[in-house]
Amino acid sequence: MGMLMAKKHIGEECVICEQAKRKGIHLYTSFICTDCENDLVSTDTSNPKYKHFLKQLKKITNPEIFS
């Protein structure tokens, strides 16, 4: 229980930069911080940093829907 409280206080781990941040968006079961989100949308696809973003985004899994 204490660990859960500490996690909420610090924030969530960003799937791209792997740092705990407080502000961002949720994509399926993953969290992307605001800083990485802004970098991602403003980075040109020919930039080597863009390949890093793609590599990190591949960690995001689509949750299965059970009926």
% of the chain surpassing 90 pLDDT? 66
Sign of CA dihedral 63, 56, 3, 27: negative
Residue 1 identity (one-letter amino acid): M
Task: Evaluate if residue 67 carries a pLDDT over 70.
Answer: no
C-alpha 34: how far from chain center = 9
Task: Evaluate if residue 3 carries a pLDDT over 70.
Answer: no
The pTM is what? 0.74
- The beta strands (E) that lie in 1-67 are given as 12-13, 20-21, 24-27, 30-33
Whether the Cβ atoms of residue 50 and residue 60 lie closer than 8 Å to each other: no
Alpha carbons 41 and 54: distance in angstroms, whole number: 12
Bigger pLDDT: 42 or 67? 42
